[in-house]
A and B are shown apart, each in its own frame.
Chain A
Amino acid sequence: MAQTINTEVTRTDARRKVTGTATYAADETPSGMLHGALVCSAIAVGQVTAIDTSAAESEPGVVAVFTHETLPDYKTVKGFYAGGPGSSSFWPMEGTDIRYAGQPVAYVVAETAAAARRGADLVNVTYQEADGSIHMDPEDSFVVGAGEDSEGMVLTKGDLQAGLDEAAQTVDMTFTTPFQHHNPMEMFSATAEWRGDRLTVWMPSQSVRTLRHGIAGAYGLPETSVRVISPFVGGAFGSKAGITPYAMLTIAAAKGVGAPVRLIVTRPQMYTVATFRPESRQQFRLGADAQGRLTAFEHVEIAQTPQFGEIVNPGTHITRAMYACPNIHTEQRLARSDTNSGGFMRAPNEMQTFFGLESAMDELAWKLGMDPVELRRVNDTMTHPTEDVPFSSRSLMESYDAVSNSFGWDQRGREIGSMTDGDWLVGYGCATATYPTNILASNARVRAQGTGNAYVELAAHDVGTGTYTIMAQIAAARLGLPVEAVDVVMGEADLPVAPISGGSTTAASAGSAVHDACVKIAQQLATQISGMSEGPLSGVDPSRITLDDGTLRGPDGQSQSVMEALQMIPEGEIEVVGTFRHPALTDQLIKATFSGGYGTAGPVTPEFAMFAFGAEMVEVRIHKYTHEIRVPRIHSAFAAGTWLNRKTAHSQLMGGMIWGISSALHEVTETDKPRSRFLNANIAEYLVPVNADIREVRVEMLEEQDDYVNPLGVKGIGEIGIVGTAAAIGNAIYHATGKRLTALPMTISDVLST
């Protein structure tokens, strides 16, 4: 039996993806389907005063034009951050209020996509415009919640001022990060088909059960009447989690016309009808003694939130877990502006906060005259700095040592600007990455057959992460089967409960439920075969029979393969539902997940703090005359418990680092301040790396054992890759030029003007 865990396994869905037979939501065409198109608001704040639909309605092919006055009614649902299933707590086309630019104001249904687009262009909307601002005013911010609250939005430990006073060196720095949009390659879409009071929705989703819960609630239907199907998702990164207005509008329009309707949201509309990464300001004050030990740590994060909701991605909860320090103060603040709801975009608490923290740490190292790696080593800790519990495992310095070796950190020049290559200034930079190990309840159904195959079913998702493959690997390893003998079915709300694919949780939580199902199959099998008159385990106490990856073993060396044992029982197969209920999951959290929500425990439990760690090192080259910034190589090392699949895990970490390069040097949603709207709302002017932007990317995956996080010892890895990259690049730019850049993205003009 070849090894199936902690090895390189080609994706089980690879063939479907390279032949064009993987079916994404918009590839489904129910019989008689019509096409939808959105008309979106041309103003940001104000009122709709009139909508003239006559030209659109007389356009050939147009079937219907819905406005707030004519769209079939449904009950709106609460937004995600208010504990509901919605992507926003404000629902467009409920009335005449305009709260953000690009808000849907009308919905056209037509026989073809081209006719729907034409119809949408012919809808004439008249507005009364009011003043707005797309940017927050950080000077007008407020603390989330009620100050010193149980969620730790404001936290004070020790005496910050005393720590600053006693420090040998201090830094006081403010960083800014911009609005960013996820821009998955797959455009948002929804296809809705009503048959009486039964509804089927095809929609790319990170949480099919959240969608079903929200839709059923909106129409007062039992959840069994609603099917939500999303077998393949063309990238999500946080943008396809909650139920969005465009989905609700499509479902209502399909009800209104009495035929299935498919909406493909246009790329420009994707910037306003769903969520984004809010802009932020990160304020850090650090102090350290002459040996580099931190004496003071302050982080105040101010993040943008809409007028009608509070979008809280608490980055201070993560930064304060990073380094030992006796005097700590953190504050999580928000400031309002006129946008749709932001949300979570890959490493929503970490990307922007670690750009600040790790840049400030680098500045501190220069002031102290220390190697920045040594500054991290001096402040490394095996105990959470504010929660007084040990880390379940923490391999930060092992990561630094591994990446230093791979990168050649010892070749780094000691002085600023000391490394050149022809007309290029060369700089090396490093930064820490971490990501919390979040825990969610999950179930999974496994059916093992003595004929040598197995079926795994759960309402999880493969958003490109490799979930189909790792679920098959886990079952294959436990049952003693080749990976290709395991069929995995996911992406449907009707399947056994599995959590939202967010917060890097699926492999750990849903994977542990698959593992548990296989253990239960073995237990049931042990009971049956020990009671039989023949066989190697006949008469053995079943409680003393253990599962050893495909083999049942008795206490005295007796053994039988799971597949042989299955052939002995009359059914020839066993089907069970496995569960994952980590001890840290309270009844309330389990209830939240089982009712379609996000009942996450961790990363801090009463016993341990659970995080994955890593370190990144980059080389930048800045042209002496043009100031062009290049990243010829980026190396990293990560430790995140057990690696399930070294091929797909490598891709996730590498992809995360490329996202980090993107955040550092490319991505920004530009704004039109006078008109309070996003400006570069397309995938050419919203810059993301192209192939030519990416050179050498090297990832080392360290071995780490963690028996506390879950039975598999897995920590999530979907997001950690992005976390340290922007700071590492900024620190390398500083090393090359002596210019400290404090705003993302870092551009040629920033190098010129700083």
Chain B
Amino acid sequence: MPKTPPDLRRPGVSRRGFLQGSSVVAGSLGIAAGAAQAQDSMPSAEARTITMNVNGKVRSLSVEPRTTLVEALRDTLGMTGTKIGCNQGQCGACTVLLNGMRVNSCLTLAVMAEGAEVVTVEGLADPNGDLHPMQAAFAENDAFQCGYCTPGQIMSAIACIDEGHAGDEAEIREYMSGNLCRCGAYPNIVAAIVQVRDSQQG
């Protein structure tokens, strides 16, 4: 859905028109900044040691303040189950549970997770190999194709039920809309969540 609704009272001002209009501003700002890339990176700073509980294990790691949680998980701890789909908080592929709440781990600095409990897709299955019911339901319902958004979808789906936002299919769709799936598995994702919700209620 359009993030900027068109102004219906003014004919000719469409979403496209609005974006093209704002682009001129953005374009001239880019030139004024000396035609460098848009500066969205953070400067380096001394690394510090943080401790967090990841999937039930206490981990101490050295990170710079600018290091994101997803980079700490993937690059520092070598846990690559959590995926990066945009690195700017738009797609939900990097969703993890932080103290039980779903967060975009690309928008969370690792230092913000100091002392926190982090659960990733690697922490869901039972050590004996049994899948978490949500993992099993995703597999059975073919709730993915390429599988890249799947770790984030599964973490979000678990939180969706825990939050009490899985009342009906419309509510599930709404509360799962922060997790993009380009393959178009949405109906099967909803079916998987309904199946788990019903089995938990049963």
With contacts A11-B139, A691-B190 known, what are 5 further pairs, Cβ within 8 A? A17-B139, A40-B37, A185-B149, A670-B20, A677-B27
B125 at the interface (CB under 8 A from A): yes
A142 at the interface (CB under 8 A from B): no
Q: Hey, which chain A residues are within 8 Å of B78, CB to CB?
A: 29
Q: Hey, which chain B residues are within 8 Å of A690, CB to CB?
A: 1, 177-178, 180, 186
Asked whether A464 lies within 8 Å of B146 as measured between CB atoms, the reply is yes
In angstroms, Cα B196 to Cα A18, docked, is 15
Q: Hey, which chain B residues are within 8 Å of A648, CB to CB?
A: 142, 145
In angstroms, Cα B202 to Cα A629, docked, is 38
Quick one: closest A residue to B82, CB to CB?
A20
Asked whether B186 lies within 8 Å of A691 as measured between CB atoms, the reply is yes
B60 at the interface (CB under 8 A from A): no
In angstroms, Cα B176 to Cα A45, docked, is 42
Q: Hey, which chain A residues are within 8 Å of B79, CB to CB?
A: 20
In angstroms, Cα B30 to Cα A741, docked, is 35
Q: Hey, which chain A residues are within 8 Å of B35, CB to CB?
A: 42-43, 125-127
Expressed in whole angstroms, the minimum distance between the Cβ of A676 and any Cβ of chain B is: 10
Query: Among the listed A39, A232, A647, which residue makes an inter-chain contact with B147, where contact means beta carbons less than 8 Å apart?
Result: A232
A115 at the interface (CB under 8 A from B): yes
- A–B pairs, 28, beta carbons within 8 Å: A14-B138, A18-B121, A43-B35, A60-B44, A112-B71, A114-B41, A114-B71, A118-B42, A121-B40, A124-B34, A126-B35, A185-B93, A234-B147, A267-B87, A648-B142, A654-B184, A655-B185, A658-B184, A668-B16, A672-B26, A672-B27, A677-B27, A682-B86, A690-B177, A690-B178, A690-B186, A691-B189, A753-B11
B interface size (C-beta, 8 A): 88
In angstroms, Cα B179 to Cα A690, docked, is 7
In angstroms, Cα B1 to Cα A144, docked, is 38
Quick one: closest A residue to B65, CB to CB?
A114
Q: Hey, which chain B residues are within 8 Å of A685, CB to CB?
A: 3, 19
Query: Count of A-B contacts with CB under 8 A?
Result: 270
A368 at the interface (CB under 8 A from B): no
Expressed in whole angstroms, the minimum distance between the Cβ of B107 and any Cβ of chain A is: 12
In angstroms, Cα B67 to Cα A448, docked, is 49
Interfacial residues of chain B within 26-70, with CB under 8 A of chain A in the complex = 26-27, 30-31, 34-37, 39-44, 64, 66-67
Give A residues with C-beta under 8 Å from B.
10-11, 13-24, 26-27, 29, 39-40, 42-43, 59-61, 112-115, 117-118, 120-127, 183-187, 232-237, 264, 266-267, 463-466, 626-627, 647-648, 650-652, 654-659, 668, 670-675, 677, 679-680, 682-685, 687-694, 696-697, 747-750, 752-753
**Given A59-B44, A118-B43, A690-B177, do A234 and B146 touch, yes or no (CB 8 Å)?**
yes
Q: Hey, which chain B residues are within 8 Å of A24, CB to CB?
A: 83, 148
Q: Hey, which chain B residues are within 8 Å of A752, CB to CB?
A: 8, 11
Asked whether A675 lies within 8 Å of B27 as measured between CB atoms, the reply is yes
In angstroms, Cα B39 to Cα A122, docked, is 8
Expressed in whole angstroms, the minimum distance between the Cβ of B55 and any Cβ of chain A is: 11
Query: Among the listed A112, A185, A677, which residue makes an inter-chain contact with B148, where contact means beta carbons less than 8 Å apart?
Result: A185
B163 at the interface (CB under 8 A from A): no
In angstroms, Cα B172 to Cα A24, docked, is 28
Query: Among the listed A235, A465, A674, A691, which residue makes an inter-chain contact with B179, where contact means beta carbons less than 8 Å apart?
Result: A691
Q: Hey, which chain A residues are within 8 Å of B99, CB to CB?
A: none
Q: Hey, which chain B residues are within 8 Å of A749, CB to CB?
A: 6, 14-16
In angstroms, Cα B35 to Cα A680, docked, is 18
Asked whether B142 lies within 8 Å of A626 as measured between CB atoms, the reply is no
Expressed in whole angstroms, the minimum distance between the Cβ of B89 and any Cβ of chain A is: 8
Asked whether B1 lies within 8 Å of A672 as measured between CB atoms, the reply is no
Asked whether B154 lies within 8 Å of A18 as measured between CB atoms, the reply is yes
Of B40, B81, B142, the most chain A CB neighbours within 10 A belong to B142
Q: Hey, which chain A residues are within 8 Å of B97, CB to CB?
A: none
Expressed in whole angstroms, the minimum distance between the Cβ of A565 and any Cβ of chain B is: 34
In angstroms, Cα B43 to Cα A59, docked, is 9
Asked whether B177 lies within 8 Å of A683 as measured between CB atoms, the reply is no
Q: Hey, which chain B residues are within 8 Å of A237, CB to CB?
A: 182
Expressed in whole angstroms, the minimum distance between the Cβ of B101 and any Cβ of chain A is: 19
Give B residues with C-beta under 8 Å from A.
1-3, 6, 8, 11-12, 14-16, 19-20, 23-24, 26-27, 30-31, 34-37, 39-44, 64, 66-67, 71, 74-75, 78-88, 90-91, 93, 120-122, 124-125, 131, 135-136, 138-140, 142, 144-151, 154, 170, 172-174, 176-190
Quick one: closest A residue to B179, CB to CB?
A691
Asked whether B135 lies within 8 Å of A464 as measured between CB atoms, the reply is no
Q: 3 closest pairs, A vs B, by CB?
A: A20-B81, A234-B148, A464-B146
Expressed in whole angstroms, the minimum distance between the Cβ of B1 and any Cβ of chain A is: 7
Asked whether B1 lies within 8 Å of A693 as measured between CB atoms, the reply is yes
Q: Hey, which chain B residues are within 8 Å of A27, CB to CB?
A: 74, 80
Asked whether B144 lies within 8 Å of A17 as measured between CB atoms, the reply is yes
Q: Hey, which chain B residues are within 8 Å of A236, CB to CB?
A: 146
Q: Hey, which chain A residues are within 8 Å of B145, CB to CB?
A: 235, 464-466, 648, 651-652, 655
Quick one: closest B residue to A125, CB to CB?
B35
Expressed in whole angstroms, the minimum distance between the Cβ of B169 and any Cβ of chain A is: 9
In angstroms, Cα B148 to Cα A13, docked, is 12
Q: Hey, which chain B residues are within 8 Å of A692, CB to CB?
A: 1, 170, 173-174, 176-177
In angstroms, Cα B27 to Cα A59, docked, is 27
In angstroms, Cα B180 to Cα A525, docked, is 50
Asked whether B14 lies within 8 Å of A20 as measured between CB atoms, the reply is no
Asked whether B182 lies within 8 Å of A184 as measured between CB atoms, the reply is yes
Asked whether B182 lies within 8 Å of A185 as measured between CB atoms, the reply is yes
In angstroms, Cα B140 to Cα A656, docked, is 20
Asked whether A125 lies within 8 Å of B36 as measured between CB atoms, the reply is yes
Q: Hey, which chain B residues are within 8 Å of A15, CB to CB?
A: 131, 139
Asked whether A18 lies within 8 Å of B138 as measured between CB atoms, the reply is yes
In angstroms, Cα B150 to Cα A647, docked, is 17
In angstroms, Cα B144 to Cα A654, docked, is 12
**Given A185-B146, A685-B3, do A672 and B11 touch, yes or no (CB 8 Å)?**
no
Q: Hey, which chain A residues are within 8 Å of B183, CB to CB?
A: 185, 235, 464, 651, 655
Q: Hey, which chain A residues are within 8 Å of B139, CB to CB?
A: 10-11, 14-15, 17-18
In angstroms, Cα B148 to Cα A234, docked, is 5
Quick one: closest B residue to A668, CB to CB?
B16
Expressed in whole angstroms, the minimum distance between the Cβ of A540 and any Cβ of chain B is: 43
Asked whether A679 lies within 8 Å of B189 as measured between CB atoms, the reply is no
Q: Hey, which chain B residues are within 8 Å of A464, CB to CB?
A: 144-148, 183
**Given A20-B82, A118-B43, A647-B142, do A747 and B14 touch, yes or no (CB 8 Å)?**
yes
Asked whether B147 lies within 8 Å of A697 as measured between CB atoms, the reply is no
In angstroms, Cα B179 to Cα A585, docked, is 43
Quick one: closest B residue to A269, CB to CB?
B37
In angstroms, Cα B151 to Cα A27, docked, is 14
Query: Among the listed B82, B122, B138, B180, which residue makes an inter-chain contact with A683, where contact means beta carbons less than 8 Å apart?
Result: B180
Query: Among the listed A29, A115, A654, which residue makes an inter-chain contact with B187, where contact means beta carbons less than 8 Å apart?
Result: A654
Query: Among the listed A120, A656, A687, which residue makes an inter-chain contact with B2, where contact means beta carbons less than 8 Å apart?
Result: A687
Quick one: closest B residue to A39, CB to CB?
B37
Expressed in whole angstroms, the minimum distance between the Cβ of B145 and any Cβ of chain A is: 3
In angstroms, Cα B147 to Cα A65, docked, is 35
Q: Hey, which chain A residues are within 8 Å of B170, CB to CB?
A: 692
Expressed in whole angstroms, the minimum distance between the Cβ of B153 and any Cβ of chain A is: 9
Q: Hey, which chain A residues are within 8 Å of B37, CB to CB?
A: 39-40, 42, 120-121, 123
Q: Hey, which chain A residues are within 8 Å of B91, CB to CB?
A: 185, 683
Asked whether B135 lies within 8 Å of A19 as measured between CB atoms, the reply is yes
Asked whether A748 lies within 8 Å of B174 as measured between CB atoms, the reply is no
Expressed in whole angstroms, the minimum distance between the Cβ of A649 and any Cβ of chain B is: 10
In angstroms, Cα B15 to Cα A184, docked, is 24
Expressed in whole angstroms, the minimum distance between the Cβ of A122 and any Cβ of chain B is: 8
